């Protein structure tokens, strides 16, 4: 499988790599089998996080005996030295390893303070000195933070949402990272599940030599698809370009990326999925969203307290309460138009 250099880290990672957030929804046995199958299929880079419940444990179970043949990154959202250090030690235990190839500060709303002796950055530096981690990066959904991270010269990698419906400003991050010698890890290459043409997504990523997409994989058939596409290495064609242009026209702009920064909601609304329901209904098998469980989730929108905490935390400046109201209205109208097909 094609490999590229992850910035100036010296790490050679497969162009198609595995995001291990979804495996937390698998059983322990199935999750470990899936990760092992990815390794046996040629994938050598696996991205997880302390916050992904038992994802790290499953990665450890699957890969501990081939540890030196794979590259593992994990993350911590702790902002203090003590909490971050504890997360690193726990990650090492769960991953069944004595080192982490790439440690990342998780979902940063602002840059970690490199001068704070009691901050998370100090913990990462101490862990690196002790040999517990080898490289330091960060993840964020905020474009301003991403740009500041590149300019700072303090981080070896950046992980940011990146797909063919990203804004021009977002896409420019790839070139900025290349010039800065930073690795660029593309999360949400399927735009939170809204993009469903694997060949188009791969061909787009293949245009950026320094971009490493970490595809979120939960099922074996998804893995087989990515392995097949990676072997084919589709290039950009007029046919694929037409797919991309159609999706950009339909999806680009102000839409919920499902990042979850708005959560938790004091009224119990599952904002990160409910706020993009209209697209989920139209771009995936819609019947799955009319189960009693999903009906109850969508009805929670009626319990909105009007506190606007979600809007204040949204990195994309969405008017989330109004978006949710529209989604519930569209959800009910869509049902009336399609209920005979259930």
pLDDT in tens, 96-154: 999 999 999 999 999 999 999 999 999 999 999 999 999 999 999 999 999 999 999 99
8 Å CB contact between 72 and 46: yes
Q: What is the pLDDT of residue 194?
A: 83
252: pLDDT strictly greater than 80: no
Distance CA 127, CA 89 (A): 9
Q: What is the pTM of this model?
A: 0.88
Q: Is the peptide bond before 264 cis (omega within 30 degrees of 0)?
A: yes
Q: What pLDDT is recorded for position 342? A: 87
Share of the chain above pLDDT 90, in %: 90
**The pLDDT value given to residue 251:** 79
Name the pairing type of β-strands 3-5 and 12-14: antiparallel
Distance from C-alpha of 84 to C-alpha of 58, rounded to nearest angstrom? 21
Provide DSSP, 206-252: HT-TTEEEEEE--SHHHHHHHHHHHHH-PPP-HHHHHHHHHHHHHH-
Q: What is the pLDDT of residues 273-324, one digit of tens each?
A: 999 999 889 877 899 999 999 999 999 999 999 999 999 999 888 999 999 9
Ranges assigned E (strand) in the chain: 3-5, 12-14, 17-19, 45-47, 71-76, 102-105, 136-139, 157-161, 183-187, 211-216
C-alpha to C-alpha distance for 253 and 236, rounded to whole angstroms: 23
Per-residue pLDDT at 77: 96
d(C-alpha 104, C-alpha 292), whole Å = 38
- For residue 143, the model assigns a pLDDT of 94
Please state at what angle helix 55-63 crosses helix 28-40, rounded to 10 degrees: 50
Position 18 scores a pLDDT of 98
With bands split at pLDDT 50, 70 and 90, how would you rate the model's confidence at 329?
Answer: very high
For the chain, the straight-line distance linking the first and the last C-alpha, in angstroms and rounded, comes to 42
Q: What is the pLDDT of residues 37-66, one digit of tens each?
A: 999 999 999 999 999 999 999 999 999 999
């Amino acid at each position: 499988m094609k490999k590229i250099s992850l910035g100036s880290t010296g790490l050679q990672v497969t162009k198609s790599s595995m995001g291990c957030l979804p495996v937390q929804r698998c059983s322990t046995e199935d999750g470990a089998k899936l990760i092992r199958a990815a390794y046996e299929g040629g994938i050598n880079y696996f991205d997880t996080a302390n916050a992904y419940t038992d994802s790290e444990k499953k990665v450890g179970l699957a890969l501990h005996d081939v540890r030196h043949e794979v590259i593992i990154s994990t993350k911590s959202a702790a902002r203090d030295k003590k909490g971050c250090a504890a997360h690193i030690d726990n990650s090492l235990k769960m991953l069944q390893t004595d080192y982490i190839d790439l440690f990342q500060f998780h979902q940063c709303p602002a840059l970690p303070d490199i001068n704070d002796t009691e901050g998370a950055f100090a913990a990462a530096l101490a862990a690196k000195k002790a040999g517990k981690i080898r490289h330091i990066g960060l993840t964020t959904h905020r474009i301003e933070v991403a740009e500041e991270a590149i300019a700072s010269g303090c981080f070896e990698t950046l992980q940011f949402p990146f797909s063919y419906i990203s804004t021009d400003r977002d896409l420019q991050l790839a070139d900025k990272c290349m010039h800065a010698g930073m690795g660029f890890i593309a999360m949400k290459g399927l735009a939170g599940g809204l993009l469903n043409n694997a060949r188009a997504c791969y061909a787009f990523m293949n245009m950026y030599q320094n971009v490493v997409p970490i595809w979120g994989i939960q099922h074996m058939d998804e893995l087989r698809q990515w392995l097949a596409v990676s072997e084919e290495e589709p290039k950009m064609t007029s046919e694929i370009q037409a797919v991309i242009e159609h999706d950009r026209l339909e999806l680009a702009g102000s839409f919920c990326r499902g990042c979850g920064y708005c959560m938790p909601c004091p009224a119990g609304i599952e904002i990160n999925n409910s706020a993009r329901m209209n697209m989920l209904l139209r771009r995936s098998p819609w019947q799955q969203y009319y189960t009693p469980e999903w009906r109850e989730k969508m009805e929670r929108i009626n319990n909105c307290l009007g506190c606007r905490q979600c809007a204040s935390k949204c990195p994309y400046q969405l008017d989330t309460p109004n978006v949710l109201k529209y989604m519930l209205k569209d959800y009910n109208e869509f049902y009336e138009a399609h209920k005979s097909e259930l």
